[in-house]
Each structure stands twice: as C-alpha cells, then as structure tokens.
Amino acid sequence: MSNSANRRRRKDAPATVSKEALLVDGSDFEFRQFVHDSLGFAARLLAVRDGFAKLINITGPQYTILVSVAHLAERGPVTVSSVANHLHLSGSFVTTESNKLESMGLLTKSTDPEDRRRVLLQITDEAVRRLKALAQVQTQVNDVHFGTLTATTFKQVRKIMPQLLDSTEEALSLLTHLSKKKQQT
C-alpha cells in the first residue's frame, strides 16, 4: 500500500480520541501507537514480574503483594486495605492471596491491637531470605528493563504514572457506565 493510500485509510478510520493534545496534525494515529506501545510494555512488565515470582516459587500476583507488604512496611503497619489501595486491587483478592502466602510461611497475619477489625500483614524471615536472593537478578533485569530512562525522564514518568492511574480508574468507571447504558437500550 502506498503512503498516500495509507494516509487516506487513516483519515477514513474513526478517531479514537478527540482531545487536541492527543492528536498530531488532526490524526489519532500517534495516540493509537502510544496505546499499543503501552499495552506491549504492560504485557512485558507482567512477564518480568511473573519471572521474578517463579524464581522464588510463587505466582506473579503473590510476588506483587509480598513486595508491596515489604515496601509499605518501611512507613509503618501494613493492612490488607493499604495493600489493596497501593496496588489498585480489591481487598478480597489481597485477602485470598495473602492467605496463600501465609500458608507458605511467607507472610504473617495478626489482628491490629488498635482496631480489631483490621488485619496486619508482615513478611516473614523466609520471605526476606527469598527476596534477598532474588535481588541480584532483579537488579540486572531492572537495569536493562528501565535502562533507557535518564534521571530526568524517570522523574517525569514517576510524576505522570499516578496521573495515568487515576485517569484510568475514571475511564474504567465511565466504560462500565456506558456499557450498562448500552445494554439497557
């Protein structure tokens, strides 16, 4: 297909975004490429996460919860709800997976003495041992995975990512609403 035919086809395709800031020369082609690149990055990020998890004999989601508990513990007590909020997951999912981690001896659960309704999570010595053993592999893989980022671009991405997470939550809510509305018609 010639370049002019390719451009004509893109102009005839319905736009997937209307915000001027996301259009290049009136086209959403670059935006769609950004979305596809983001999906590819997300898939590979999950594959790397799953690879780390496999090295310490747990599942990807369990790995994410375990390292989140360790990370959040640097700031104080960790609860199921704090992990769920941190990871943008449901509390019931975190509860189910943390029960599995507890049965493997990688996590302990206790009742919060200040609020008996809350469950506190803490990683065990065995979890610390496994995570320390994994650190050398993680460092090498992460240095390659994120090696294209400079200090400046890392700072920019760190600032943008929470904003994209928030707008994604809003977009999911809107999609759910529009889907229900469409099903009613």
Domain of 27, in residue numbers? 22-124
If you write DSSP's letter for every residue of 89-156 in order, what string do you get? --HHHHHHHHHHHHHTTSEEEEE-SS-TTSEEEEE-HHHHHHHHHHHHHHHHHHHHHTTT--HHHHHH
Number of domains in the chain: 1
Residue 148 domain-assigned (yes or no)? no
Bridge partner residues of 108 (DSSP): 122
Instruction: Flag whether 95 is in a domain.
Output: yes
Per-residue pLDDT for 8 more than 50?
no
Q: Please indicate, yes or no, if residue 90 is contained in any of the structural domains.
A: yes
Residue 27 inside a domain? The answer is yes
For residue 127, report the phi and psi dihedrals to the nearest 5 degrees.
-65, -45
Instruction: In whole angstroms, give the CA distance from residue 26 to residue 138.
Output: 42
Q: Tell me, yes or no, whether 41 lies in a domain.
A: yes
In a domain, 185, yes or no: no
Residue 9 pLDDT: 46
pLDDT at 181: 83
State pLDDT tens for residues 89-141. Answer: 999 999 999 999 999 999 999 998 888 888 999 999 999 999 999 999 999 99
The pLDDT tens digits of the residues spanning 151-185 come to 999 999 999 999 999 999 999 999 999 998 888 87
pTM score, two decimals? 0.85
| CATH code, domain with 70 | 1.10.10.10
Q: Identify whether 30 is part of a domain.
A: yes
Question: Residue 133 and residue 74: Cα distance in Å, rounded?
Answer: 20
